[in-house]
Amino acid sequence: MSEYVHRAKKIVTLSMIKPDATQRNLTGDINARIEKAGLRIIAQKRLWLTKPQAEEFYAVHSERPFFEELTQYMSSGPVVAQVLEAEDAVNAYRKLMGATNPKEAEEGTLRKDFALSLTQNSVHGSDSRENALVEISFFFSRMELVG
């Protein structure tokens, strides 16, 4: 796991552009906002998660009441998984995304501008550096982090 830290020049975080956003052709708009905020997209792939893959990715939420709805939704269409790099990537991306619930998200954040609901909230970002490494390794091999 630590190879990721050595390969990337700075801190890395895992981003997912969710099915509501890929469905509405928002990948380019979201990527432009990511890059404008100073985060570098050092790896990216579009894929359609199976239900078991969505359940594995969100396993920490398996006891939560929203788990079934969340994993159904996350396997309902394509997502774009990406690795973002910046000096303080985890926090920088969380700030850019805004609050999980778009009703609570600040002006100018991705979720304020794009999200449809708490579940269909357009983007996911890792909540810590430790989880970022786990989530990155779910989607990417070391050779896919190209800088």
Query: Catalytic residue numbers?
Result: 124
Which residues sit at the interface with ligand CMP, rule CB under 6 A?
61, 66, 70, 100, 118-119, 121, 124
Closest CB to ligand CMP among residues 17, 43: 17
Closest CB to ligand CMP among residues 7, 100: 100
In angstroms, give the least distance from the CB of 34 to ligand CMP.
15
Residue 4's alpha-carbon distances to 57, 87, 146, in angstroms, are 19, 15, 11
In angstroms, give the least distance from the CB of 28 to ligand CMP.
21
CB 57 within 8 A of CB 74: yes
Extract the tokens encoding 2.
Answer: 């630590």
In angstroms, give the least distance from the CB of 7 to ligand CMP.
25
Closest CB to ligand CMP among residues 11, 97: 97
Residue 108's Cβ-count burial label (10 Å; 0-12, 13-18, 19+) is exposed
Can you tell me whether residue 27 is helix, strand or coil? helix
